[in-house]
């Protein structure tokens, strides 16, 4: 009976060592997935905010605003971070036609907070710590 217990105890120690090695092999992949989910969620939110800011800026331009007014509205829409810039592609003329639109492009510099961005930079363009997001807003001119 004592020999059986010793045999089981030795087997248990071997299994614990194998479990530690397996965990050490799987942990980097698990962390990569978790960090990827975090940064992807943040990037999706930033892209949605950039699109909304572009629509807001296009509305300001449609109502007669200039570059400064559009930039102020973009800063308000993104929460005053100062990382987004507005560029007016076309504004409404004094006597608009039905086909005239106010068009604004907003660019936002998204910065990763996890190591996933650095690893993604190894395979793509850029420094890996940030990526540029673009949003476009179009509003029809009032006739």
Per-residue pLDDT of 92-106, as tens digits, reads 888 888 888 999 999
Give the span between the Cα atoms of 80 and 137, in whole angstroms. 19
The dihedral region occupied by 88, where left means phi > 0, alpha psi between -120 and 50, and beta the remainder, is beta
The pLDDT of residue 72 is: 92
- Residue 32: pLDDT above 70? yes
Give the span between the Cα atoms of 108 and 19, in whole angstroms. 45
Neighbours of 80 (CB within 10 A): 9
Instruction: Note if the pTM is more than 0.85.
Output: no
């Amino acid at each position: 009976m004592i020999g059986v217990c010793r045999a089981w105890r030795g087997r248990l120690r071997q299994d614990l060592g194998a479990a530690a090695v397996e965990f050490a092999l799987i942990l980097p992949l698990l962390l990569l997935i978790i960090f990827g989910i975090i940064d992807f969620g943040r990037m999706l939110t930033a892209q949605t905010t950039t699109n909304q800011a572009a629509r807001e800026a296009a509305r300001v331009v449609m109502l007669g605003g200039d570059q400064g007014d559009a930039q102020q509205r973009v800063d308000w829409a993104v929460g005053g971070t100062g990382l987004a810039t507005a560029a007016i592609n076309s504004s409404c003329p004094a006597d608009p036609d039905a086909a005239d639109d106010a068009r604004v492009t907003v660019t936002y510099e998204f910065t990763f907070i996890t190591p996933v961005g650095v690893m993604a930079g190894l395979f793509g363009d850029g420094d890996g710590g940030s990526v540029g997001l673009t949003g476009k807003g179009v509003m029809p001119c009032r006739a």
